[in-house]
Amino acid sequence: MKKWWHDKVAYQIYPKSFYDTNGDGIGDLKGIINKLDYLKELGIDIIWLSPIYCSPMVDQGYDISDYYNIDPSFGTMDDMETLLKETKKRNMYVIMDLVVNHCSDKHEWFRKALEDPDGEYGEYFYIREGKGNKPPCNWRSYFGGSVWKKIPNTNKYYFHAFAKEQPDLNWENPKVKEEIYKMINWWLDKGLAGFRIDAIINIKKDLSFQDFEADGDDGLCDMSKMLEKVIGIGDMLKELKEETFDKYDAFTVGEVFNAKEGELYKFIGKDGYFSSIFDFDMEVLGQEQSNRWYLNKDFTTNQLRDVIFKSQIEALGIGFKANIIENHDEPRGASRYIMDGECNDISKKALAIIEVMRRGIPFIYQGQEIGMTNNKVDCIDKFNDISTIENYDRAIREGFSKEEALRLVNKFSRDNARTPFQWDNSINAGFTKGTPWLQVNENYKEINAKLQIDDKDSVLSFYKKLINLRKSNEYKEVVVYGEFIPDLEVYDNVIAFYRKGANKCLMVIINYQNKEQIINFNKTYKILINNYKDLKFVNNELMLKPYQGIIIEIL
């Protein structure tokens, strides 16, 4: 059955770094409103806003202290309502970030829980007695250290999967669920089109809180180990959907990392818990463990191709994944998926083809469309992201030198994606008239939106072309619904596949390497998109230039 969101293109805004209108160095809702035409022009339909609720910003808004209000640094509820009105006028949709695995330690519920851990609000969280003078179990939180934090003057501990300022909400308590459903419906009533749902796979805990075998010198074990074993998340997600999203035909995208093999249909199938989930397979390539960056390994283009193919095939006949190259937790795609020294407009356009031509819903992260890259930071104090600091400290504890640790965090820091959007070549890249909350990437004079808007050969214009193809009357059906069929796997470093629709067949061929490649080819075709000016085709041989990427229609 067709859904209203199948043919849409989504865009993630990290509000703090998008556009600042009042000179306080922090992007705001008025800034987003100001740039709606830019996004419309690009072809965006759905905007996902990273959290803008009231927050002490320990984890940049992913620690919410009031779900019903806008953080003053971003603006007011009036601004939010204006944004909803202005997007509606342009046939655009807004989805917000739904962060309900945890709240902030400054949330009223948690403050009350601390005052009286045995009282009503204590039940809103997971509070347990320590084992002697040790925490209830040895699980490690995602941002390092135990998942347990002691409540002063007691032998009780509360549970936090992320930072200690992000206590986990007790999803076994019906009152908590009721509060959450009420809040979600309140927002949907306001006119939101849906949600991106944060860290949702963490809401089900194994309440026996048993120790696991340690996997590090700290005597702890990654809590993801528990998630692999625990059962019962399905019932929770089903109820969540029935009590909220279903009633509004909302578009929901779950942040789900560890869906078990063969269980994708439960998440995004016909009656799935969500409309879609992010495809993280490219992101976790080379990752041994999330949030331990020093374990990350390099990967080859063939490996990259294989994970893309595997993930695409997995979704066929089941549903639509949300396709990303980067987000606010990942390094910039241009820096991560293009080999060192090979990053240029041509290779960025090749990556853009992968973004838009996979089957699923493209989610473009702010700045990706102009080819923003990782930042270079020369000193650990200049980072802001909580997990960057933790990774740095941990690398040093595990024996890396300061230089190595700094190199490592430069490569993987979440701040890479969070530097201010590069609008033009004026001071602070035109992001703010004040002092930006996070250092602007110094390459903004070469990479910025203004330079690219009127340049028909820019990365930005290329993204527009791809999105136009996806939206064109002629090719919409095949780009949105066409099957995904891999091809040319005998060639190293070539990423090629068909999109086969009801009446049309497209083929994507990308020579994903820095040298020419000849491909035997005996089909009749029409070129639709090419990141070079021409394509050499002689005697049934395609001669592809470095990083040349083409989309052709097979006739």
- 290 interface partner picked from ligand ISL, Ca ion, none, CB below 5 to 8 A per type: ligand ISL
- Contacts (CB under 6 A) with ligand ISL, residues 203-262: 255, 257
Minimal distance, residue 102 CB to ligand ISL, in Å:
7
**Which residue type occupies 116?**
D
Which of 13/478 has CB closer to ligand ISL? Answer: 13
Minimal distance, residue 410 CB to ligand ISL, in Å:
18
Tokens standing for residue 410: 């430069």
**Contact pick of 70, 99, 220, 409 for ligand ISL (by CB under 6 A):** 99
Kindly state the number of chain residues that form the binding site for Ca ion, as judged by CB under 5 A.
Answer: 5
Chain Cα centroid distance, residue 96: 13
Strand order in the sheet with 525-530: 483-487, 494-500, 505-511, 549-554, 525-530
Which of 147/357 has CB closer to ligand ISL? Answer: 147
**Contact pick of 93, 162, 171, 365 for ligand ISL (by CB under 6 A):** 162
Is 199 among the residues that bind ligand ISL (CB under 6 A)? yes
- 20 interface partner picked from Ca ion, ligand ISL, none, CB below 5 to 8 A per type: Ca ion
Which of 295/316 has CB closer to ligand ISL? Answer: 295
Which of 255/326 has CB closer to ligand ISL? Answer: 255
Q: Of residues 255, 326, 355, 385, which has the active-site annotation? A: 255
d(CA 496, CA 538): 19
Minimal distance, residue 145 CB to Ca ion, in Å:
33
How does DSSP classify residue 369? G
Is 412 among the residues that bind ligand ISL (CB under 6 A)? no
Closest CA to 205 of 97, 105, 102, 99: 102
Q: Of residues 198, 222, 329, 415, which has the active-site annotation? A: 198
Is 400 among the residues that bind ligand ISL (CB under 6 A)? no
Which of 227/485 has CB closer to ligand ISL? Answer: 227
Burial label, 446 (beta-carbon count in 10 A; 0-12, 13-18, 19+): exposed
**Contact pick of 65, 170, 291, 458 for ligand ISL (by CB under 6 A):** 291
The secondary structure of 426-486, three-state, reads CHHHHCCCCCCCCCCCHHHHCCCHHHHHCCCCCHHHHHHHHHHHHHCCCCHHHHHHCEEEE
Minimal distance, residue 107 CB to ligand ISL, in Å:
14
- Report, in angstroms and rounded to the nearest whole number, the Rg of the chain calculated over CA atoms: 24
Kindly state the number of chain residues that form the binding site for ligand ISL, as judged by CB under 6 A.
Answer: 13
d(CA 90, CA 109): 38
User: Taking CB positions, which residue lies at the least distance from Ca ion?
Assistant: 28
Closest CA to 393 of 474, 507, 293: 293
Minimal distance, residue 198 CB to ligand ISL, in Å:
5
Report the 10 Å Cβ neighbour count for 210. Answer: 12
d(CA 210, CA 230): 12
- 24 interface partner picked from Ca ion, ligand ISL, none, CB below 5 to 8 A per type: Ca ion
- 162 interface partner picked from ligand ISL, Ca ion, none, CB below 5 to 8 A per type: ligand ISL
For residues 23 to 62, the per-residue mask of contacts with ligand ISL, x marking binding by CB under 6 A and - elsewhere, is ------------------------------------x--x
E strand or H helix at 178, and its extent? Answer: helix 174-190
Report the 10 Å Cβ neighbour count for 129. Answer: 11
Q: Between β-strands 517-520 and 541-544, what pairing exists: parallel, antiparallel or unpaired?
A: antiparallel
Angstrom CA distances, 113 to 148, 231, 361, 551, stand at 15, 27, 41, 57
Q: Between β-strands 93-98 and 46-49, what pairing exists: parallel, antiparallel or unpaired?
A: parallel
- 26 interface partner picked from ligand ISL, Ca ion, none, CB below 5 to 8 A per type: Ca ion
Minimal distance, residue 340 CB to ligand ISL, in Å:
22
For residues 16 to 45, the per-residue mask of contacts with Ca ion, x marking binding by CB under 5 A and - elsewhere, is ----x-x-x-x-x-----------------
- 79 interface partner picked from ligand ISL, Ca ion, none, CB below 5 to 8 A per type: none
Is 198 among the residues that bind ligand ISL (CB under 6 A)? yes
Minimal distance, residue 490 CB to ligand ISL, in Å:
33
Is 329 among the residues that bind ligand ISL (CB under 6 A)? yes
DSSP, residue by residue, 232-249? -HHHHHHHHHHHTHHHHT
Closest CA to 95 of 245, 237, 259, 266: 245
Contact 180, 424 (CB under 8 A): no
Closest CA to 511 of 538, 531, 525: 531
Which of 22/530 has CB closer to Ca ion? Answer: 22
Contact 364, 463 (CB under 8 A): yes
- 28 interface partner picked from Ca ion, ligand ISL, none, CB below 5 to 8 A per type: Ca ion
Minimal distance, residue 199 CB to ligand ISL, in Å:
4
Q: Which residue has the tokens 């997971």?
A: 126
d(CA 156, CA 501): 59
Is 142 among the residues that bind ligand ISL (CB under 6 A)? yes
489: annotated active-site residue: no
Q: Between β-strands 127-129 and 494-500, what pairing exists: parallel, antiparallel or unpaired?
A: unpaired
Which of 123/390 has CB closer to ligand ISL? Answer: 390
Angstrom CA distances, 515 to 164, 302, 533, stand at 49, 15, 17
Minimal distance, residue 74 CB to Ca ion, in Å:
8
255: annotated active-site residue: yes
Segment near Ca ion (CB under 5 A); pick from 14-22, 156-164, 287-295, 319-327:
14-22
Q: How many CA atoms lie within 13 A of 90 on its CB side?
A: 23
Footprint on this chain of Ca ion (rule: CB under 5 A): 20, 22, 24, 26, 28
Catalytic residues: 198, 255
Catalog residues that contact ligand ISL under the rule CB under 6 A: 59, 62, 99, 142, 162, 198-199, 255, 257, 290-291, 328-329
